[in-house]
Amino acid sequence: MVYFQTDYLQVEHHHTGNVLITQWYGGCSSLQYRQALINVIRIARELQVHCVVLDRRLLKPVSEDDLHWTCTIYAKAYAKLPLKKLAVIHSFDNETERQQQQLNAHIGTYIETRSFDDLTSAYDWVISVPV
């Protein structure tokens, strides 16, 4: 079921496995980026998801201010969710991938995190062992 959809992001919930999938379709403004991530937190909290797949292949790099916000404010809120597994799909953009690695360093201390090249492998991993 799709919970949130824009030109740049779709968030869907797969009831089987209680998995949240976020798929970025490109860049967006700073305000849109932050509001989208706040919506992801709200949806994950509301659904009490234990597994998330972040498909960031098409996401463009964010500003340094947005990266700092993501690694501090967002990461702290993310850590308070009941998440057990986070699968991240590598970005096609090298700078976006570098930024994701920074975020993983903050989030990975709270949640089991792995990186993948495709959505199928990422999804299979998060549902492979019940949490």
CATH number at 46 reads 3.30.750.24
pTM recorded for the entire structure:
0.88
Q: Which domain holds residue 62?
A: 2-128
Q: Which pLDDT score, from 0 to 100, does residue 113 have?
A: 85
- CA–CA distance from 37 to each of 11, 17, 31, 76, 107 (Å)? 10, 22, 10, 12, 14
CB neighbours of residue 75 within 10 Å: 19
CA–CA separation, 42 vs 36, rounded Å? Answer: 10
Which residue, 130, 114, 131, 110, is CA-closest to 122? 114
Q: Which pLDDT score, from 0 to 100, does residue 130 have?
A: 63
Q: Which residues of the chain have pLDDT under 70?
A: 104, 106, 108-110, 130-131
Q: Which pLDDT score, from 0 to 100, does residue 106 have?
A: 67
Q: Which pLDDT score, from 0 to 100, does residue 19 have?
A: 96
Count structural domains, the chain: 1
Q: Which pLDDT score, from 0 to 100, does residue 109 have?
A: 63
Q: Which pLDDT score, from 0 to 100, does residue 131 have?
A: 57
Q: Which pLDDT score, from 0 to 100, does residue 75 have?
A: 86
